[in-house]
Amino acid sequence: EPWIEPAMGCLARPVLWAALLVLTASESFLSNEDVGDTAQTCNVDTVQVANLRQLHPILHDLVNTTFFRLFRVNLRNPTCAYWKSPDAEEKPSSEGTCTGSVPTLGSKPAFMSKGGFSTGFSSRAAPPEPGCSVEADGSSEGIDRKLTVQEKVAQLERGNETEECEFEEDLPTYWVDMCSGDHAKGMSLEDVNLIKNPERNTGYNGSHIWQAMYDENCFEVGSSMPRGRFASDASMCYEERVLYRLLSGWHASTSISIAKNFYAPGTKQKGQWAPNLERFMKDIGDHPERAKNLHFSFVVLLRAVRKAAPFLQSYAFHTGDDKEDRKTKMLMSRLLDSQLLSLCSPLFEAFDETRLFRSSSTEQRSQLKRQFKSVFRNITELVDCVQCQRCRLHAKLFSLGLGTALKILLSPEDLISTTTSRDDVVALVNILWKMSDSLEDVRLMTKQYYENHNQKPKEEAPRPTGQSVAVARLEGDNQPMPLSARRELLDLSLAAVRHSSSKGLLPSEAEEMLLRFLMSGASEEVLLLARHYAVDRPETFCRLALFSTEKEKASAAVPHQEAYGSKQRPADAIVIGGGLAGMSASMALLDRGGSVVMVEKQPYLGGNSGKASSGINAALETSVESLVADTTKSAGSLARPELIQRLAEDSAEAVSWLRDRTKVDLSLRSQLGGHSVKRTLRPSNAFVGAELTFAAGQVLTKTAEQGGNFRLLLKSKWTALSRSEEVWKVEVRINGSTQVLYGHQVIIATGGFGHDSKETESLLLKHRPDLADFPTTLGPQTTGDGVKFARDIGAGLVDMDRVQLHPTGFVDTKKPLENTKTLCAELLRGVGGLLLDRNGRRFTNELGTRQAVVNAELKADKAGLSLPQPSPHRAFALVLNSKAAKMAERHVTLYSKKGLLTKVEGVEGLAQHFGYEVDILKQSLRDYNDAAKSGSDVFGRTVFPDYTIEETEDFYVGEVVPVIHYTMGGIAINVEGQVLDKDQKTIPGLYAIGEASGGVHGDNRLAGNSLLECTVFGRHVGMALPIRTGSTASGAASGAVSAVSSPASEELRKITQEELLKHRADGDLWVALYGQVYDMTEYVWEHPGGSQAIFDVGGQDGTVTFEAVHNKELLETMGFQPVGVLA
């Protein structure tokens, strides 16, 4: 996953979070500064030990009881409100397909990367759309639905629980509908055995679901600053951070389960599932912030259980088997009486509902409550979009369990017994178990990983009498030493030194050397030596510690390789900004063997490039001259021919390079406003900016993980820029401390200044004060940092008063005055969307340049033709008929889901929605149809779609306003991307690309040229700037796939069709795929899509069936090894 979320609470340096989870003390692991959710007196050690010794074994037994292993759920016909066609409600289908994935940004979520997994084999043909699943929702594939006699009795004993919910936020009962399980939705339900259907790797790619969940976590109360995915940590309100950490903890637990049960039986181990330890370390081990969130979620669940203890103690765990019920009740009592729940009260009191919804404003407090509940319920609804049934089962369980915990914590205690259903109890306990198990799995998989890499854990020695638990636990775990244990052993070491010195056994010089060594950070080996010798044999300890000191001093004399960006090893380039421009420059430079340090102040890569939705221009099947002409026309009197020529001439090669490097589909071509031909490219099933930035981010993230020539610094704020002795110094603020980076060149790719209106020194208000009350589509990071730093060292600035207003920023009618708007893609007007005034009449050429359409809007507004209140100032109607909506299906679906587009029936419904007179509206549509037939209209429009608008068809309507969208002005550059000073001379070693630079677009940017500029100039700078490190090309970043040296493997034997045909029965099942034969005997019964799909192709070539829903890479990813090649 993508793990595409803001990485909250990162530690100062990457360490194995598994080790931290097991051992680190609270002050270094769960610090109060993150969310203020834990108490110092009950630290991670306490919780971990209690989990391992008490909670984990109790919960294991509890979830295996009949009561807790049965979960009532709807898996056959869920209703997904996301990723449906606009007319989906009129065309019900049982096929579990979707039209694509939600846009993904940055380095977030990376658990299930794009193009990685799908769901499993299928004997059916693929759906016509690019499906992200193959399971039919009504089928029995993937789920073991068999119940024992005892379980069937328990099923019959269940009542029909349909608790009613209340919705007034001023009532104590407001939170009781925080989590409505399937039983409350009147759906087709069944009881599923959770033990028979454990969570494990099914091959399903759930990245789009996780991304959508993180996108939903967005509060917008009491501030004009956009929050959620595009916000900084500081801008996220407390309530938002709490939900984020719970969601991230859920994500971590799921990923641990997948890594634990990754390789199917028969691939790595006979008869059982095997872990993917490398995936575990990549997804979990290298991300300590995810550990914090897992632990935080675990603590929140424990607190909910503790608050509900009286209710759970008296609960009737009724299954129809008295003996079984007594066992369940006894286990629950043991859980509630455990030491952690009974003694560690500060841990629970440090996080409580009184810290939520604190506001002096009653209205704001009510809004926070509404948004908190609404966001969580939206997230839970997303689980119905999971197409893998087993995955959906566990997603539903987790969402209901978290919702139950929140409901318990936020509701008065006297309501718990009347508002908590049986399914709530089952879900709460089961996800508490899943998180408890995840904590234990981390310890075991970390240990196994080290053993496989020849780093065997130390054998445990008998603990001397009186030795502390913290010290004793150092043995056998082979994990970093916790702070509390280091302090205890350091204390023993210092006592030994003092003892030896006082006895005259340690010369003063040696004493000082030892003290310096111990206080500056003694190695774990020396501290472990102190554990065994410092007390009983202090002289021996001091003698061996001195030996270790001399050894370290000798090793220090050997020069070590400094990281790129250090003073001793300057990087070829420091790239500041992680949008598409910065990523393009970095990839191009790394491909040449250069060294790069990238600095990005957001927690993820992508920037505003990730928001681009209409496309990227390229003169691939059109002429360079026509792109030059259209760009020049849009640029107006400020057009700079040399920059425009570079942009157009390099467009085809640069976009082809980007497409090849990222593997992003750019097959759709459209004509946007201001263009004379169709040259704007975009994916067939996704948003172009999100796809490109996600894919490029994956390339760079993987390169950074391998070390070498590339360092990636996220959440790092640029604070200063200077130059001395031909080396640039860049100061950045990372985790509260300042770090200085050194580079031979600096590439400024920090974006524009369109969200700079509230900065201490606002470039926007300085150069365009008339735009102070205009909303914006830009992220809060767009504050012109690079422009300001470049200006301060003498760079020239150009066109600073040229700020592009995009004509269509969506108005959210629920909060019409919100300052930050969602961009309404140019594509919607390109496919035939119309702009109407308050009377229902057209007033402009919808395909004109952005500035032309904005000018028409401002003129109409001045004439009193904008929509009346409660619509905001300068608002107009956007109308798409059903044919246009179909052509922009993905966009319409997403905007409809967000409540920005509304479906209405016929012209009458359209007129009623906006208060138009029907006759005037009908005449407007007739005039448009007539103009389309003649090929021109009174507004100068000459391009029309090849359809007629019908009065009886459905329409999709919304409100739009002009918004600040792009700043054409910025740092002066030449055609090489070099920064120019005020005298038009180059500043050596300084480059500017993307929106940070100025002059490329002149008076107004042409739609689709933003991503193109990033790609063309980013790639050009990366290919042209001098390399001094003399490195070889980075394998991970290089476009060419390098051969991996490995021992020569035994040549696979040839298998004939006749021999293959003999292996088609249960117990002996082979399948040929891509010319190789695989033994599926053990895997067939584990296949998440059901065994029949594999039996259908047993003993034959199943490539066509497999290819319909999978890709070839899945075979290797899942660990399958061929037994031969098909002759």
Point out the residues that are catalytic.
806, 829
**Does the CA dihedral 331-333-334-336 come out positive or negative?**
positive
Distance between CA atoms of 151 and 501, rounded to whole angstroms? Answer: 72
Q: Which run of H or E residues covers position 156? A: helix 149-157
CA separation (Å) from 843 to 876, 909, 957, 1010?
10, 21, 17, 27
Q: How far is residue 1006's CA from residue 219's CA, in Å, rounded to a whole number?
A: 33
Sign of CA dihedral 163, 164, 168, 170: negative
Instruction: Report the alpha-carbon distance of residue 396 to residue 386 in Å, rounded.
Output: 10
Residue 568's alpha-carbon distances to 126, 681, 740, 1026, in angstroms, are 56, 44, 12, 19
DSSP-based three-state secondary structure for 1003 = coil
d(CA 371, CA 218): 9
**At which residue do the structure tokens 């996780």 appear?**
210
Helix (H) or strand (E) holding 298: helix 288-307
CA distances, 1105 to each of 386, 411, 471, 646, 1067 (Å): 22, 51, 57, 47, 22
What does the chain come to in residues?
Answer: 1127
The amino acid sitting at 221 is: V
- Contact, 867 vs 57, CB < 8 A? no
Q: How far is CA 616 from CA 699, 738, 776, 969, 1009, in A?
A: 20, 37, 21, 20, 6
Half-sphere exposure of 1116 (CA within 13 A, CB side): 5
The C-alpha atoms of residue 1021 and residue 51 are separated, in whole angstroms, by 54
Contacts of residue 59, Cβ cutoff 8 Å, sequence gap at least 6 = 335, 429, 432, 433, 436, 437
Q: 597-613 in b/e burial notation, b at 16+ Cβ within 10 A? A: bbbbbbbbbbbbbbbbb
Q: Are strands 737-748 and 571-576 parallel, antiparallel or unpaired?
A: parallel
d(CA 301, CA 429): 9
Coil, strand or helix: which one is 852?
Answer: helix
Q: Look at residues 994, 1029, 987 and name the one whose alpha carbon lies nearest to residue 1011.
A: 994
% helix / strand / coil in the chain, to the nearest 5? 45, 15, 45
* Token code pair at residue 368: 């926070």
Specify the pairing of strand 876-881 against strand 834-836: antiparallel
β-strands 803-810, 1054-1055: how paired?
unpaired
Cis peptide before 870 (omega within 30 of 0): yes
What gap in Å lies between CA 688 and CA 1015, rounded to an integer?
A: 13
Read off the tokens for 846.
């919808």
Alpha helices in 951-1107 (DSSP H): 1009-1024, 1057-1061, 1091-1095, 1103-1107
Q: 892, 885 in Cβ contact below 8 A?
A: yes
Helices (H), 382-535: 389-410, 413-419, 422-452, 469-472, 483-502, 508-519, 524-533
Which residues pair with residue 274 across a beta bridge?
Answer: 263
CA–chain centroid gap for 1067, Å, is 41
